[in-house]
Structure 1
Amino acid sequence: MRAVMLGLPGAGKGTQAERLGEVLGVPHVSTGAIFRQAVQTGTELGKAAKAYMEKGELVPDEITVGIVRERLESADCRKGFILDGFPRNLAQAKQLDEALARMGTRLDAVIDLEVPEQEAVRRITSRRVCSRCGATFGAGEPVDASGRVADVCPECGGRLSQRADDSEEVVRQRLQVYQESTRPLVDYYAGRGVLVRVPGVGPVEAVFEAVLAALRARNLVPSTLTPPGAREARR
C-alpha cells in the first residue's frame, strides 16, 4: 500500500496514518519527522532545508520533494508507505507522481479525512501540550484520579498549556492556507481515480474502521484485515 493522508489541520491525519501503517506493516512517513531527521543527520538536502528554516523562510518545493524522495527510497518503504503532511500543493503532488514513476511505482490511494472546519478548530484549540516532555492531549484529556481534566502531564508531571500556534486566530489562518493550497489536491486525485473519502468525525477507532472499510471496498486491503483492537474484542 502506497498512500497519502489528506485532510484539514486537526482532521487526525497523523493518528490514522500511524494506525494504518501499523496494521499494514508499512512505515508512517511524517514530513515533519523526516525534515528533522534530514537536518539532524546533515544530508545535503537537509543542510539546504536548514538554511531556509533558520531564516524563517519556506523550504522550496524541489528541496522538500527531494527529502521526501530520499525517505521513500529507503529499504523499509519498498513494500509501501503512508505519507502524512505531503504533498501540500499541486506542484508537490505532480513532482511526487514523477518521483514515484521514476521508482517504477505509483500511489494506490489518497485518503481524504472529511472533517468540518468548525470541528477542526475545536480540536486544535482544545489541544494542550506538556511543557516538559512534549506529550499532546486532546479535548477532555488527560483525566486525573477524581475524573476531572488534569492540568499536569500523566507521563512526567509537567504543566499542560496551549501552544501559541494553536490559538483560534492562527488556526483560522492555517485553514485558509489549506483551502487555497492543499484543498485542490482533492479534485486532482479524484481525477486520477485514487481518492478515497472517509468521514473523519467520531471516536478514533470508529474513524479507523471507516478507513479500512473504504480501502476494502476498493480491494486495496484484504477483506479479512481488521484493527488489532477489533480482533482482541472478538476473542
Structure 2
Amino acid sequence: MDRVLALDAAYPLPLLPSMLEKFPKAIEPTRWLPRCRPAQPKNSRTRSFGRRAVTSGNGWTQDLEDEMRGILRVIKAKDEQEFLTVGKLVLNLNRGLAVAGPVLAGTAAFAIVFIGSGEDGTWASGAAVLGGALAAAVNTVEHGGQMGMLFELLRNCAGFYRKIQEDIEANLAEPDVERRERGEVFATKVALKLGRSLSDLKQFRKMASPSVQDEDIKEFAGKLF
C-alpha cells in the first residue's frame, strides 16, 4: 500500500481521487517509492576494515565508501539542485503565463465594446487586436510549449537523483557491512544509473573530504540527464 500511495503522489494523473497541485509553493523531487526506513541497530557483530582491505567477501572497502559519500555530496550539491532550480524558473514562468493569458483575452474583449463609438473606437480596435494577438501568443507558449509537462520532467529528473541518494544512504547507514548490498554490484548499479564507468567513480573520492567546499565542485555526477 505504501508503494501505491507513493506512485499516486508522483504523477499528475492519480490512482486515487486526488491530483498534484498545478502550482506548488515548494518544489519537491518526485518520489516513486516509500521513504526508506532508517536502519535499525543489530546485535550482530559489526565488521571493520582497513583502507584497502576487502570485508569478508562483501566487496565494501574504505575507498568504496569514500566514493559513495563523494557521489552523494555531488548529487546533492549539483545534479538535484540544478533540476530544482530550473524547475522553479519554469514553474514561475508557467504561473505568469497562466495569469497573463486570461488578462490579455479579457482586455481584448473589453476593448471590443468600445469599437465604433466615435473617437474611442480607434484605440479600442487597436487594443482589441493587440490584446487578442498577445493572448493567442501567450496561450501558444503555455500550452503548445507544454510548460506544465516540462516542469514535471524536471521534477522527475530530480527524483531520479534523489532515489540514488537514498540507495547510497541506506547502504552506508547499515553498520554491519555483511548486511549491505554487495559492494561491487552496488557500485556497478550506481555507475550505470549515472552513465559512467566504474573507473569514473574514483574521481569522486576526494569530494568526501570536508575540506572541499560545495562551491569548488564543478562537475556533475550524472551524464544521462
State the TM-score, normalizing by the size of structure 2: 0.24
Bigger CA radius of gyration: 2
Structure number with higher relative contact order (C-alpha < 8 Å, ≥ 6 residues apart): 2
Q: Which of the pair is proportionally richer in helix?
A: 2
TM-score in terms of structure 1 length: 0.23
